[in-house]
Amino acid sequence: MRNEERVQVQPKHRKKFLNGYPLIFKEALVNPEKLKTEGTIIQLVDTDGTFIGKGYYGRQNKGYGWVLTQDANESIDEGFFVNKLQRALQYRKPFFEDPNTTAFRIVNGEGDGLGGITIDRFNDYYLINWYSEGAYSFKNDVVNALKKLVDFKGIYEKKRFDSKGQYVEDDDFVAGERGEFPLVVKENGVDFAVYLNEGAMVGVFLDQRPVRKIIQDKYAEGKRVLNTFSYTGAFSVFASLGGATHTTSVDLANRSLNKTIEQFSLNGIDYESENILVMDVFKYFKYAVKKNLKFDMVILDPPSFARSKKHTFSAAKDYKNLLKETIAITEDKGIIVASTNYSGYDMRKFKTFIDQAFKETGGKYRLLEEFSLPEDFRTTKEFREGDYLKVVFIEKIKG
């Protein structure tokens, strides 16, 4: 039997949970020290003992666990997960019906009432991400529910809960047949090579799908494009397919070279006529300034935090400077695509960095359009901070 603990909610936070807030955070609890074993069922109660909600204990950077139901009589068992997954799948029905896109998210954590757990589809394979040991303790129920509801060849998982909340190195195979990698999935008709058993990152970040599409359809034609922090070169491939005259992809990781060659080749693009550099982006900016290189479109999609030999980049502190370096190598009338998945600030704040960067470089700009998480990355109005993605298309007018 699973442990169960009654934990009192601080009076001032009671309303928040009654209104559907899903994250159980430490400051909200009167007696958080009662929680010891990951996966313990938490009965959130008022200081007078009245039921508020039921969830589980699972430590991740965001908090102590997640509320799963506001119904005192609902038990958290396989049937519970079948129910949640059924709804989640129903919501993605249009995605399943589109043969041009075979990779998308089917469960997005608290957005689907299952905080701490995400599930992505890659063709006939499914990938579960567990964000805490507590979330992982529901593995049997979740995997059984998934098996009941989808046609699948295989199921893989990522355990993202070592002491620092990072990926735990392991054999990630769970059930069904092992896949042959790369698995070639489709996104709006474009091919992607995906590896489900090679560490935390599988080759594509699905949340940028609409951004890639609009770059291809609306912005790339005739442009010289610089794609920084390019990883497998996804933005470069879409830009090239959209008619970019040339792309330069820059990433520090050695693996990015072969992976980018692979993505170009899969889509029939001659990678030798593109520029793929394994290099520190900040070093590249200096090189570009020295050589007087300018681009018609620069894509910025850095990680929230990165450390290279010479540089530490933190989206919290350094985004403005990243933009300033970018402005210097962007043509007048050029486009800057500024993206961040850092959840510590919202779109409004992100735009203040953009404004400051242009002010400090004496330039003028125009905001063209913006993106947050796509439909399949479902979020709820009760937990706005779950919508971490911020992408802004900026036109540099001059300066």
Binding site for ligand SAH (CB under 6 A): 205, 208, 229-232, 234-235, 250-253, 256, 280-282, 301, 303, 306, 308, 311, 313
Tell me how far, at minimum, the Cβ of 68 lies from ligand SAH, in Å: 31
- The DSSP code sequence of 166-228 is -PPPS--EEEEPPPPSSEEEEETTEEEEE-TTSSS--S--GGGHHHHHHIIIII-TT-EEEEE
* Residue (149 or 257) nearer to ligand SAH, CB: 257
249 DSSP β-pair partners = 227, 276
Contact partners, residue 222, CB within 8 Å, separation at least 6: 243, 244, 245, 296
Q: Are 116 and 58 in contact (CB under 8 A)?
A: yes
Pairing of strands 23-24, 63-69: antiparallel
| Whole-number Å distance between alpha carbons of 19 and 381 | 10
Distance CA 115, CA 302 (A): 25
CB of 65 to ligand SAH, least distance (A): 28
Quote the CA–CA distance of 335 and 215 in Å, as a whole number: 10
CA separation for the pair 386, 383 (Å, rounded) = 6
**Residues sharing a CB contact under 8 Å with residue 29, sequence separation 6 or more, in sequence order:** 7, 8, 9, 10, 64
Shortest distance (Å) from residue 299 CB to ligand SAH = 7
Distance (Å, whole) CA 130 – CA 141: 13
Q: Smallest distance, Å, CB 303 to ligand SAH?
A: 4
Helical pair 255-266 and 234-241, crossing angle rounded to 10 deg:
30
Cβ-contact 198, 381 below 8 angstroms: no
Q: Which is nearer to ligand SAH, 251 or 296 (CB)?
A: 251
Q: Report the residue number, 148 or 311, with the smaller CB distance to ligand SAH.
A: 311
The least distance separating ligand SAH from the CB of residue 176, rounded to whole angstroms, comes to: 27
Residue 209: φ, ψ to 5° = -50, -50
The nearer residue to ligand SAH, 157 or 207, going by C-beta atoms, is 207
- Closest CB 371 distance from ligand SAH, rounded Å: 13
Question: In angstroms, how far is the first alpha carbon of the chain from the final one?
Answer: 66
The count of other CB atoms within 10 Å of the CB of residue 283 is 16
**In the complex with ligand SAH, which residue's Cβ is closer, 282 or 353?**
282
CB of 43 or CB of 343, closer to ligand SAH: 343
- In this complex, which beta carbon is closest to ligand SAH, that of residue 40 or of residue 227? 227
Of 117 and 300, CB closest to ligand SAH: 300
Nearer to ligand SAH, 149 or 306 (CB): 306
Q: Which residue, 218 or 311, is less far from ligand SAH as judged by CB?
A: 311
CB of 227 to ligand SAH, least distance (A): 7
Other CB atoms closer than 10 Å to residue 352's CB: what's the count? 11
**172 Cβ contact list (under 8 Å, min separation 6):** 156, 157, 158, 196, 197
- What's 362's DSSP letter? T
